């Protein structure tokens, strides 16, 4: 189990927000934290601590410059997501991203768009692609959500569907939207299911707030997945020591 760091960008600033509150007008966004530091500051920190495979997520427009700044600071160490398409993906790889992350581009009109999935695989290669399976629970089943986590797709996060998508990407990033940004603990049921399904590197995001949560995650996932933590960390305004998290994951 590795700790994968994150840099969430909103309106050009490093923020931690409750993802479900994102909307087109940006008038109702709930911000857990707005940093006084720029994206390069965090990228340099993650580089110094040799944390690889973290993700930079552009939440809406106006974040391209900040994203490029982070990628230039830690070339090869960060992945990039948010508005990625087959047309612009290569530019982000050239700017220093190790992988590009896609959700909405391949989940369109509530369905998995195999045409777009094949286009981006052709553009960057399976080995440089991460599929973000941001999902919410409905009637005991998880479905991918798109459009800034507001729209349910018909794509079920299931073992069969996971297995199909593994043939097109290098990694998965799974946001448990029901608990994302709320610091209420991990989504234990989702973690348990995912750990039994995935056979490629997979990073879980959502709800972790303590070293005890990390230990629980490790036990439930059997060390089969990585974890990212955002708003709970002291570097993002929370109470959980970033240094303690780094040390915990390096010691196991």
pLDDT (tens digit, 9 = 90+) per residue, 104-139? 999 998 899 999 999 999 999 999 999 999 999 999
19 pLDDT higher than 60: no
pTM: 0.93
Confidence of residue 194 (pLDDT cuts 50, 70, 90): very high
Residues facing residue 15 across a β-bridge: 34
pLDDT at 24: 45
Domain spans of the chain?
6-251
Is 239 exposed, middle or buried, given 0-12, 13-18 or 19+ CB atoms closer than 10 A?
A: exposed
The rounded mean pLDDT for the chain is 93
Average pLDDT over residues 220-248: 95
How many Cα atoms sit within 13 Å of 218 on the Cβ side?
A: 14
Q: What ranges in 101-241 are assigned the alpha helix state H?
A: 114-124, 159-165, 188-197, 211-221
3-class secondary-structure state, position 108: strand
As separate numbers, helices (DSSP H) first and strands (DSSP E) second, the chain gives 8, 15
3-class secondary-structure state, position 249: helix
Architecture of domain 6-251: Alpha-Beta Barrel (3.20)
56 pLDDT higher than 90: yes
The string of pLDDT tens digits covering residues 126-172 is 999 999 999 999 998 999 998 778 889 999 999 999 999 999 999 99
Among the listed residues 146, 164, 161, the one whose alpha carbon sits nearest the alpha carbon of residue 193: 161
Angle at 167 between CA 162 and CA 169, to 5 degrees: 85
């Amino acid at each position: 189990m590795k700790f994968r760091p994150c840099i969430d960008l909103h309106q050009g600033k490093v923020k931690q927000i409750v993802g479900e509150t994102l909307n087109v007008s940006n008038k109702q966004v709930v911000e857990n934290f707005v940093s006084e530091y720029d994206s390069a500051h965090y990228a340099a920190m993650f580089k110094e601590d040799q944390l690889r495979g973290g993700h930079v997520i552009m939440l809406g427009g106006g974040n391209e410059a900040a994203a490029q700044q982070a990628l230039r600071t830690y070339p090869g160490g960060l992945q990039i997501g948010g508005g990625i398409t087959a047309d612009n993906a290569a530019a982000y790889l050239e700017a220093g991203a190790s992988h590009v992350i896609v959700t909405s581009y391949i989940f369109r009109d509530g369905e998995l768009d195999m045409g777009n999935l094949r286009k981006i695989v052709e553009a960057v290669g399976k080995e440089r692609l991460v599929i973000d399976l941001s999902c919410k629970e409905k009637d005991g089943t998880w479905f991918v959500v798109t459009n800034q986590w507001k729209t349910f797709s018909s794509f079920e996060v299931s073992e069969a569907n996971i297995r199909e998508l593994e043939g097109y990407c290098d990694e998965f990033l799974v946001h448990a939207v029901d608990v994302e940004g709320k610091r209420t603990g991990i989504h234990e049921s989702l973690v348990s299911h995912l750990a039994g399904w995935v056979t490629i590197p997979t990073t879980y995001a959502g709800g972790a707030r303590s070293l005890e949560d990390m230990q629980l995650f490790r036990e439930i996932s059997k060390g089969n997945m990585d974890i990212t933590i955002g708003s709970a960390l002291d570097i993002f305004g929370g109470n959980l020591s970033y240094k303690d998290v780094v040390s915990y994951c390096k010691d196991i």
